[in-house]
């Protein structure tokens, strides 16, 4: 027995003692193959899942590394059955392979005939395969490449896709050399993606995921379709590509609600691609508008279901997913794995902070106590109205006002879920409100005013969660959120993480109503950031209101 920080249990749960001196080192080594489930103050609970093990395997980790990490940090002997199961699960990845055959085209092959026979008898697979090609392979129609990978993953036999990719229509794209260069991790991420052919790069908000996309485009030197979350993000991608690459204005098209340009590099929003009319998606034809050599999915954790279906038909194209977190609240991480590709590169947030690539952040949960009348109203509210009520109380409003005054003169964002609450805060603080109905030009004007320092405070809804570049923001006050969304919490902290010219850190406040659903949801939202090594200090609202140091 050793004094390690980890307790490994036979049900594949891992208990990590947060205050142990080796906790950070342990967290880094188990993160590639274990998912955080609960993150209270002292002991975090991880679970080793098949998908996490397969992602680790695809990223180059082997079973020996996983076993070594568990044994090295475990306080007690690791259950032998778990170690065997880890090795067996990781060995499942790649036993089936999708490959190109010079005679038969696309084939599913295996070095383990029993596995092949097993999956060929599965009802979901039968309609996707063609004739037998010898004892150890079967023909597959190219149109079934994505759907077959999805089906095999659900059967527990993820196929390694070695069938290669079409080059697509060539188009010259070079990285510019105008006073900048790729950071080491950006180069490593682009290389890992290119070597794997398709897959996902996971990097913290503020670390330059767009630049990784540009580097991938320079490797492909082909026509590229880029899918983004909103029009503001589309504009930022365009500006970044003009700055970082040899591309000109005429070579980059915008395909949004306002414009329908199809050019060698085309940037489209998920919203326009999923617009539905009379039961059909008219804009999905953009996928076939050119012979794309590369498809880039920004914020891939938000990929809508219709795009997943279309992506199944794009398996011969190189596909790059970019995200700060692979967490999906709809539990479709398996679809990202099979249709976009496995995780090819992942940089822990705290590692990036230590190296100076993102700003250090102090996370503070400020707990407010509802008044007696608010508590009674909450207790008697209809169940489906309780979260909205406790998330938008007047007690919270007074606290937000105090926090904004405390950080007067700093570049501060007030972030929330409910528009009525945000409008009230905007009026109280004398600050503009950016929400869904705010026109794109007005959004961009206000963001520019914030970047220049002309505007110190912005009140923003979830439209600012994603892909908004606000490097000057140093403080965020989150007053309400999308229930327990872990991805949203990560994105909101991410608004603050671009390095500051002054070298200063960032402060992220989560305002939470004590003894309510708000407190329960906050604990769930914080799980992903806890996995990345961020700890929330909990302070009482009275400390803020009285002006105490926090």
Q: Same topology for domains 184-347 and 359-545, yes or no? A: yes
Q: Beta strands 199-202 and 433-434: pairing type?
A: unpaired
Rg (CA), the chain: 24
Structure token pair of residue 511? 């305002």
CA torsion 492→494→495→497, rounded to 10°? 150
Residue 82 has pLDDT above 90, yes or no: yes
Mean pLDDT, the chain, whole residue set: 89
The domains of the chain are located at 6-92, 96-161, 184-347, 359-545
CATH architecture under which domain 184-347 falls? 3-Layer(aba) Sandwich (3.40)
Residue 433 has pLDDT above 60, yes or no: yes
Cα(68)–Cα(153) distance, rounded to whole angstroms?
26
Q: Beta strands 105-110 and 96-101: pairing type?
A: antiparallel
- In this predicted structure, what is the pLDDT of residue 468? 65
Q: Name every residue whose Cβ is closer than 8 Å to that of residue 368 and which is 6 or more positions away in sequence.
A: 393, 395, 396, 399, 511, 512, 513, 514, 541
User: 170 - beta bridge partners?
Assistant: 222
Superfamily assignment of 359-545 in CATH? P-loop containing nucleotide triphosphate hydrolases (3.40.50.300)
Q: What order do you get walking across the sheet with 35-38 strand by strand?
A: 6-8, 13-17, 43-47, 35-38
Reported confidence tier of residue 162, pLDDT bands at 50, 70, 90: very high
Structure token pair of residue 485? 């969304």
Residue 503 dihedral angles phi and psi, to the nearest 5°? 80, 5
pLDDT in tens, 204-225: 888 889 999 999 999 999 999 9
Answer for the pair 157, 92: CB distance below 8 angstroms, yes or no.
yes
- In this predicted structure, what is the pLDDT of residue 484? 63
pLDDT > 70 fraction of the chain, expressed in percent and rounded: 97
Buried b (16+ CB within 10 A) or exposed e, 250-274: ebbbbbbeeeeeebbbbbbbbebbb
For the segment 83-105, the average pLDDT, to the nearest whole number, is 93
Reported confidence tier of residue 173, pLDDT bands at 50, 70, 90: very high
Reported confidence tier of residue 506, pLDDT bands at 50, 70, 90: confident
- In this predicted structure, what is the pLDDT of residue 224? 97
């Amino acid at each position: 027995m050793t004094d390690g920080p980890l307790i490994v249990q036979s049900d594949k749960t891992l208990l990590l003692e947060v205050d142990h001196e080796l906790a950070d080192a342990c967290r880094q080594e188990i993160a590639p193959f274990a998912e955080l489930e609960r993150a209270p103050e002292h002991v975090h609970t991880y679970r080793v899942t098949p998908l996490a093990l397969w992602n680790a395997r695809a990223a180059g980790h082997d079973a020996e590394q996983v076993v070594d990490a568990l044994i090295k940090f475990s306080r007690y002997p690791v259950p032998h059955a778990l170690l065997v199961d880890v090795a067996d699960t990781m060995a499942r990845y790649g036993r089936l392979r999708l490959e190109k055959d010079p005679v038969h085209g696309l084939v599913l092959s295996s070095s383990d005939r029993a596995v092949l026979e097993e999956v060929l008898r599965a009802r979901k697979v039968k309609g996707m395969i063609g004739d037998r090609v010898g004892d150890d392979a079967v023909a597959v129609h190219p149109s079934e490449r994505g759907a077959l990978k999805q089906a095999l993953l659900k059967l527990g036999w993820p196929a390694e896709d070695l069938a290669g990719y079409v080059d697509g229509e060539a188009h010259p794209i070079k990285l510019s050399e105008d006073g900048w260069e790729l950071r080491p991790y950006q180069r490593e991420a682009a290389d890992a993606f290119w070597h794997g052919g398709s897959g996902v790069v996971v990097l913290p908000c503020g670390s330059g995921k767009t630049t990784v996309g540009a580097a991938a485009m320079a490797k492909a030197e082909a026509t590229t379709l880029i899918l983004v979350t909103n029009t503001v993000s589309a504009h930022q991608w365009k500006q970044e590509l003009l700055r970082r690459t040899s591309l000109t204005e005429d070579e980059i098209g915008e395909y949004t609600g306002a414009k329908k340009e199809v050019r060698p590099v085309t940037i489209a929003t998920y919203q326009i691609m999923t617009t539905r009319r009379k039961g059909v998606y008219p804009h999905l034809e953009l996928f076939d508008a050119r012979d794309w050599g590369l498809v880039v999915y920004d914020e891939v954790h938000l990929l809508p279901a219709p795009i997943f279906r279309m992506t199944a038909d794009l398996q011969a194209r190189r596909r790059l997913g970019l995200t700060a977190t692979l967490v999906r609240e709809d539990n479709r991480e398996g679809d990202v794995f099979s249709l976009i590709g496995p995780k090819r590169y992942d940089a822990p947030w705290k590692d990036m902070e230590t190296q100076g690539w993102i700003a250090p952040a102090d996370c503070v949960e400020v707990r407010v106590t509802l008044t007696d009348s608010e508590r009674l109203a909450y207790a008697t509210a209809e169940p489906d109205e309780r979260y909205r009520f406790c998330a938008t109380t007047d007690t919270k409003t007074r606290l937000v006002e105090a926090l904004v005054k405390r950080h007067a003169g700093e570049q501060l964002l007030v972030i929330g879920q409910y528009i009525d609450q945000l409008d009230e805060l905007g009026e109280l603080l004398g600050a503009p409100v950016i929400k869904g109905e705010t026109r794109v030009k007005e959004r961009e004007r206000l963001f520019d005013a914030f970047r220049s320092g002309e505007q110190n405070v912005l009140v923003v809804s979830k439209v600012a969660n994603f892909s908004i570049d606000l490097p000057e923001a140093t403080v965020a006050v989150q007053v309400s959120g999308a229930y327990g969304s872990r991805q949203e919490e990560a994105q909101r902290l991410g608004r603050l993480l671009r390095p500051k010219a002054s070298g200063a850190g960032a402060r992220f406040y989560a305002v939470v109503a004590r003894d309510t659903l708000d407190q329960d949801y906050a604990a769930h939202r914080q799980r992903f950031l806890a996995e990345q090594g961020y700890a929330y200090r909990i302070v009482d609202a009275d400390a803020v209101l009285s002006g105490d140091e926090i």
